[in-house]
Amino acid sequence: MLKATKVRLYPTEVQKQHLAQSFGCCRWYWNHSLALANQTYKETGKGLSRGKIQALLPHLKKELEWLKTPYSQCLQVVALNLSRAFINFFEKRAEYPSFKSRHGKQSISYPQNVKLVENAIKFPGTLGIVKAVIHRPVEGAVKTVTISTNAGGHYYASVLVEDGTQQPRTDTQGQAIGLDVGLNHLVVTSDGSKYNNPKWFRKHAKNLKRKQQSLSRKVKGSISRARARKRVARVHDKISRCRSDFLHKLSRRIVDENQVICVENLAVKNMVRNHCLAKSISDAGWGMFATMLKYKAEWEGKVYLEIDRFFPSSKTCSVCLNQIGRLPLDVRSWTCSGCSTHHDRDINAAINIRNEGLRILALGASATAVGGNVRLASGNTQKHLLLSTEAPSSSNVVARAG
């Protein structure tokens, strides 16, 4: 299995300078190739292949002396990443590739020849040995190492290793849990636990506001403005580290305690675009949380299952399956007219998500159910939910809209 560990790097001033130049060159090569690809896409409807992007390099290096600064393989990774970005776009897994900005996060990747030594990482080429805090044992063959820096000025290395183990077979037998994500609580589980949204932005909001105001008073282009910008970036950075720490611990706990984890597919991006909800939603970091649950479950042979988002989890009674017509967002609890059960809105939704997940798993195992009309979905333009006709091998079981 491939596993990634992120460690903090402490480059010297000279190394920082080399890195800054390398970041710049790789970014330039990405943007230059993307501009060409855009033109090709407009003319032919196709992207540029990895080979075609790489073939640009020798000529560019002859023309532009400075493009020789970064380790040559870092540039080749750019070609690989850009061609992959196009493949992901054409296979509808990602948005159209975008240009990289000189502000914010920067990164370069070393695809091979990187060694981990004591309290440092040895990179090939000019960069050499960079001091690092390797806070946990990294075992296995080192594959790609990506160096990144953020606007706050911290440096990190993400070390990808092949640890020599096989991904365990997924086992669907065991404790199942359904998760409902909300605004009042980050996660509500089918067994009735509610985990609070820590609302890091709000906690740090005062500090952030003060530093943003100070930034806005600075003269454009001045050194003090650059310093103030860095201070603002550090607060953002702190918030993001707090958030990922919290989400790592919560996802670890949920995966440890359960065998089957069912969540609702939220199409996070679309929701973030909804202006009013945007702040709270991006605050909670749902997308990041789902990713963490997924890979942690896969590592341990557990099942991570996303339920189609048009499944009416809130409006269905989990006891008698009676469906109610309307349930405004501010109604936190309701009584079912069919069986008189009093439901907590979120816990009921989480139980429905768990039941739906278990149903999909059970149906997936039986050949007779494959492809059949399973349920009438209410609302939107969706008429039926069809089960995917492929036999669900592991966690990638999906309910497909027909």
339 binds Zn ion (CB under 5 A): yes
Q: Where are the beta strands (DSSP E) in 128-175?
A: 129-133, 141-149, 155-162
Among residues 13, 346, 356, 390, the one annotated as catalytic is 346
Asked if 322 is part of the footprint of Zn ion (rule: CB under 5 A), the reply reads yes
For 292, counting Cβ atoms within 10 Å of its Cβ (0-12 exposed, 13-18 middle, 19+ buried), the class is buried
- Minimum CB distance to Zn ion, residue 286 (Å): 28
- Closer residue to Zn ion (CB): 18 or 315: 315
Are 53 and 87 contacting, i.e. CB atoms less than 8 angstroms apart?
Answer: no
Neighbours of 301 (CB within 10 A): 14
> What is the distance between the alpha carbons of residues 389 and 85, in angstroms, rounded to a whole number?
28
- Quote the least distance from Cβ 336 to Zn ion, whole Å: 3
Of 317, 350, 351, 399, the one binding Zn ion by CB under 5 A: 317
Which residue reads 């979120």 in tokens?
346
User: Among residues 323 and 393, whose Cβ is nearest to Zn ion?
Assistant: 323
Strands 106-110 and 141-149: antiparallel
Shortest reach from residue 377's CB to Zn ion, in Å: 19
Q: Are strands 260-264 and 176-181 parallel, antiparallel or unpaired?
A: parallel
The residue range among 71-79, 89-97, 146-154, 310-318 that interacts with Zn ion, by the rule CB under 5 A, is: 310-318
Residue closer to Zn ion by CB (options 335, 393) is: 335
Stretch that binds Zn ion, among 155-163, 167-175, 274-282, 322-330 (CB under 5 A): 322-330
Candidate list 264, 298, 306, 356, residue with the active-site label: 264
294 neighbors 395 (Cβ within 8 angstroms):
yes
CB atoms within 10 A of CB 10: 14
User: Which residue stretch of 21-29, 104-112, 315-323, 367-375 sits at the interface with Zn ion (rule: CB under 5 A)?
Assistant: 315-323
* Residue 180 annotated in active site: yes
CB of 217 to Zn ion, least distance (A): 59
Tabulate helix, strand, coil % of the chain (nearest 5). Answer: 45, 20, 35
Q: Does 233 bind Zn ion (CB under 5 A)?
A: no
Question: CA separation (Å) from 185 to 195, 196, 198, 203, 352?
Answer: 6, 5, 9, 16, 17
346 as an active site residue: the answer is yes
Asked whether 29 and 67 are in contact (CB, 8 A), the reply is: yes
Confirm or reject binding of residue 145 to Zn ion (CB under 5 A). Answer: no
Q: Which of 2, 94, 320, 365 binds Zn ion (CB under 5 A)?
A: 320
* Cβ-based nearer residue to Zn ion, 100 or 315: 315
Where in 234-253 is the site for Zn ion (CB under 5 A)? Answer: none
Segment interacting with Zn ion, rule: CB under 5 A, options 124-132, 190-198, 242-250, 321-329 = 321-329
Strand ranges inside 44-101, DSSP E: none
Least CB distance to Zn ion at residue 337 (A): 8
Q: Are 22 and 30 in contact (CB under 8 A)?
A: no
Query: Quick one: 113 or 340, whose CB is closer to Zn ion?
Result: 340
Q: Is 265 exposed, middle or buried (0-12, 13-18, 19+ CB in 10 A)?
A: middle
329 contributes a contact to Zn ion by CB under 5 A? no
Binding residue (CB under 5 A) for Zn ion from 192, 338, 371, 372: 338
Size of the site for Zn ion (CB under 5 A): 7
292 binds Zn ion (CB under 5 A): no
Minimum distance of Zn ion from residue 108's CB (angstroms)? 57
Q: CA 352 to CA 177: how far, in whole Å?
A: 10
The minimum distance between CB 379 and Zn ion, in angstroms, equals 19
Diameter over CA atoms, the chain: 78
Which residue do the tokens 């932005």 mark? 201
Please pick, from the candidates 114, 293, 336, 397, the single residue that binds Zn ion as defined by CB under 5 A: 336
Q: How many CB atoms lie within 10 A of CB 101?
A: 10
324 is a contact residue toward Zn ion (CB under 5 A): no
For 185, the enclosing helix (H) or strand (E) is strand 185-189
Residues forming a β-bridge with 181: 187
Is 308 assigned a catalytic role?
Answer: no
Our finding on whether 344 is near Zn ion (CB under 5 A) is no
CB of 316 to Zn ion, least distance (A): 9
| Residues of the shown chain interacting with Zn ion in the complex, contacts defined by CB under 5 A | 317, 319-320, 322, 336, 338-339
Active site residues: 180, 264, 346
